[in-house]
Structure 1
Amino acid sequence: MPQSTKTAIMIIGGAEDKVHGREILTNFFNRSGATDARIAIIPSASREPAVIGERYREIFNEMGAKGIEILDIRDREHCENPILQNYAENCTGVFMTGGDQLRLCGLLADTLLMNTIRQRAQRGEITLAGTSAGAAVMGHYMIAGGGSGESPNRSLVDITTGLGIIPELLVDQHFHNRNRMARLMSAIAGHADRLGIGIDEDTCAVFEGDGLMQVLGKGTVTVIDPQDMTHTNQHHVGATDPLSICNLKVHILVYGDRYDLRKRMPVHSRSGSF
């Protein structure tokens, strides 16, 4: 995939390469304006926001960003700060780090600052990226936690409200690395009006605003589409009982593959490949 300069919403599965090729971070940097980029780093999900914020600052500084600000929000009142608000209104890229997605939502949801960032991202005015916890918050519904290594069941996943950047998605991250297929299937069984997106580490689902998702990075993006689901016992069994889920559609996408969110199908090129 060529390095695009078009703005996008970038959902990263976590543990993106920060040392060697830095492909995903470089893609974010270029989409944010390259050497004209004014980047806002939001490390609020982290327990060590100053440390993680500085790490990303060094990376984007090495790349040559024009301006970098760490929005070290540790209280909801910080989101009303006119200096931070002004930066959110004028930056070209926003990067949300990993950590705890519940902490991130607790600090940012329904604030003036987050509303500005969400609206600018949805209008294509900025590039917005989130990794790990920063990825989990992208949908209207959010996977707040859960388990792995079991059959799908309702107790395997905790659902709460996310930041609604791309509302129709239900995102899970560190996906195959932490064996989370059953967790995402459990989530989708109870929210069949959403589209499940499971993103591996050092992998990114890129949404350019044209209804297409493109895959970047070393792993896979798993799409779980329940629109043709014919049956689930989700509403009739106990929380720890196994789920039956019939006629789920599952796609495994790799680097360069594309998926049409509106048509709910992978996009093939004329050569027969994606």
Structure 2
Amino acid sequence: MLELETRLAQQSMVISTQYPVMVVGGAEDKVNGCDILTAFFESAGGSAAKIGIIPCASREPTVVGDRYYQIFQKMGAQQVQVLDIRYRNECDEARWLEILNDCTGVFVTGGDQLRLCDLVGGTELIKTIKQKVALGQLKLAGTSAGAAMMGDRMIAGGSSGESPNQTLVELTEGLGIIPELLVDQHFHNRNRMARLMSAVAANPDKLGVGIDEDTCAALDGSGVFQVLGKGTVTVIDPGSLTHTNYPQADAAHPLSLHNLKVHVLSKGDRYDYKNRAVLANSGVR
């Protein structure tokens, strides 16, 4: 029995190098160790990777797309292409779908998540991405706006530095890649705890996930994510919520949220978002 427990403990120390979906809080390191981008590159196949970059959330897609193009080229990807989509109807065009079908990894850049969802939501492009991710044929990463899009519900904007209230957050439909999660990014860097709490109050069936800059919730495909990077991932779990005044409160009135469960996870920590439980720490620091 002791031998079995020891072996299981050793297994829990292993960090996966294959992440089907990576949710990045923005401002990831692009110059030094590039740990998060390297993890995506390796997940997508390393030197055999064929990476597509989708920069359409940005108002400078050429500049942003080229920056990531240079990074993944330098890492040694077999093929890197920028899907420079400017109009919604382009997302149904064969030229982009053919490139996408050949990709082993897709990286969605930062910018404006509303712009991103308006351009790709409901199109053949996003349908193909979701299908290929579900079949294990594609690795997907999104940073900043590309992270915000991941859930069924999406934080489109809002404020910070106040008590939780209904006016603090603007919510809309996301792309539903990870339906259970309600993601906020640049989290502690921009003091967004109250914003995420307000979002969770409006959607108590969702799990709030706030991701710091240069930090990633890397999903391993089994309903578990592991924290990569320099910051933290904050989980707000309303599963045991006993009371909120959200339905009755005036828009700017402070919200009550009783019995929220909050976890702050750092590098190497693992969380089962299907069963809402912190798992044995991998011990990486």
TM-score normalised by structure 2 residue count: 0.93
Q: Answer with 261-270 or 49-58: which moved more.
A: 261-270
Match of residue 123 from structure 1 = 135
- Match for 1:164: what amino acid? G
- Match for 2:246: what amino acid? Q
Match of residue 86 from structure 1 = 98
- 1:266 and 2:278 equivalent? yes
Q: Contact 1:122/1:165 (CA < 8 Å) preserved in 2?
A: no
SS at structure 2 position matched to 1:57: helix
- Structure 1 gaps of 5+ residues are none
Cα shift at 1:208: 1.3
Match of residue 168 from structure 2 = 156
SS at structure 2 position matched to 1:159: strand
Q: Contact 1:4/1:27 (CA < 8 Å) preserved in 2?
A: no
Match of residue 118 from structure 2 = 106
Q: Contact 1:222/1:250 (CA < 8 Å) preserved in 2?
A: yes
**Among the aligned pairs, what percent are the same residue?**
59
- 1:236 and 2:248 equivalent? yes
Q: Contact 1:79/1:108 (CA < 8 Å) preserved in 2?
A: yes
2 CA distance for matches of 1:248 and 1:124?
34
2 CA distance for matches of 1:34 and 1:256?
21
- Structure 2 gaps of 5+ residues are 1-12
The one-character-per-residue Cα deviations of 1:125-154 (angstroms, maximum 9, x if unpaired) are 211000000000000000000000000000
Q: How many residues align?
A: 273
Which stretches of structure 1, 4 residues or more, deviate above 6 A after TM superposition? none
Cα shift at 1:261: 1.4
1 CA distance for matches of 2:14 and 2:21?
17
Match of residue 5 from structure 2 = none
2 CA distance for matches of 1:110 and 1:245?
34
Cα shift at 1:40: 0.4
Q: 1:201 aligns with which of 190, 213, 225?
A: 213
1:62–1:204: structure 2 CA closer, same or farther, 3 Å change rule? same
Match of residue 60 from structure 1 = 72
- Match for 2:69: what amino acid? R
SS at structure 1 position matched to 2:95: helix
Q: CA RMSD in A?
A: 1.6
Q: Contact 1:203/1:219 (CA < 8 Å) preserved in 2?
A: yes
Cα shift at 1:219: 0.2
- Match for 2:278: what amino acid? P
2 CA distance for matches of 1:29 and 1:120?
17
Match of residue 196 from structure 2 = 184
1:69–1:150: structure 2 CA closer, same or farther, 3 Å change rule? same
- Match for 2:268: what amino acid? G
TM-score normalised by structure 1 residue count: 0.96
Q: Contact 2:269/2:282 (CA < 8 Å) preserved in 1?
A: no
